[in-house]
Amino acid sequence: MSAFPEELSPVMVAGIIGALVAVPFMWKFAVSKKQESQPMCNLSIKKDSPKVVDTICMQDIEDADKKVMCRCWRSAKFPYCDGSHTKHNELTGDNVGPLIVKK
């Protein structure tokens, strides 16, 4: 006489136990991947502000003929480019460059 009912074979019991052990680990892995944060692009500019927004007057562009705007978030003169993207690109292998606005 078997210790298990006919409907519940030892293989089925092993499968159930395996699932009960594995599911919490799989759940933790899936949830931790979703909660993993992405790296920030803005490391130092206006960190006290909830959103960085800069406005450039068209008159300023017309007076200067063009404006070179930072897109790497590393410029000490943000929102204007100071060439910081060059070092950033060398260190990271990135290819970011400025936005040039002309009249």
Give 6-34 pLDDT, tens digit per residue.
Answer: 677 777 778 888 888 887 777 777 766 65
- Is this structure's pTM higher than 0.95? no
Residue 32 structural domain: 1-36
Is residue 44 in a domain? Answer: no
H-state helical runs in the chain: 10-35, 58-64, 84-92
User: pLDDT class for 58, splitting at 50, 70, 90?
Assistant: confident
DSSP 49-77: SSS------HHHHHHHSEEEE-SSS--TT
Is residue 42 in a domain? Answer: no
Is residue 12 in a domain? Answer: yes
Active site residues: 51
How far is the C-alpha of 31 from the C-alpha of 25, rounded, in Å? 10
Average pLDDT, the chain: 82
Q: Report pLDDT for 95.
A: 92
